[in-house]
Structure 1
Amino acid sequence: SSGRPGRYFRDYCSFMYFRLAEPHANKPLKEVLALIRQYSFWMPQYIWLQGHHIDTYHLPAEDENGNTVGVRF
């Protein structure tokens, strides 16, 4: 055996995937992040929104009032 199943699990199954409900699918990124913040303490590292892959690593973390509360380095 080539070890692929273990690698597959480690590389792909360590992620959680969420799908936006249709009413939210066309909202701007800032509104989508605010929606995610309501349900998760951790922001996603990647977002697929309106056909675009967005790496959120360099975006500042904001609280519900829009204040910057953290920046990843």
Structure 2
Amino acid sequence: MPLALVADGEKVEIVDFIKKGKSLFCHLRDIGLITGKVVEVVKNQKHGPILLRIDESRLAIGRGVAMKIMVRRIK
């Protein structure tokens, strides 16, 4: 499922990227969003950026980018 559809407070693991453009993939890697990484969705409203917790950091990403990041829920 795309990261953009994950609810507040859920933890997910990144499993794949859609449309793996080199510049987008490099940017995501540089900010810590890589395959196998577990992230928590702190805030995801219907519009606007999605706030994530990655390790001890918080990061906001656009909804369009979040639609290209495929994840699975952590139980």
Tell me the TM-score normalised to structure 1 length. 0.28
Determine which structure has the larger helix proportion and give its number: 1
Considering only CA atoms, is the larger Rg found in Structure 1 or Structure 2? 1
Greater relative contact order (CA < 8 Å, ≥ 6 in sequence): 2
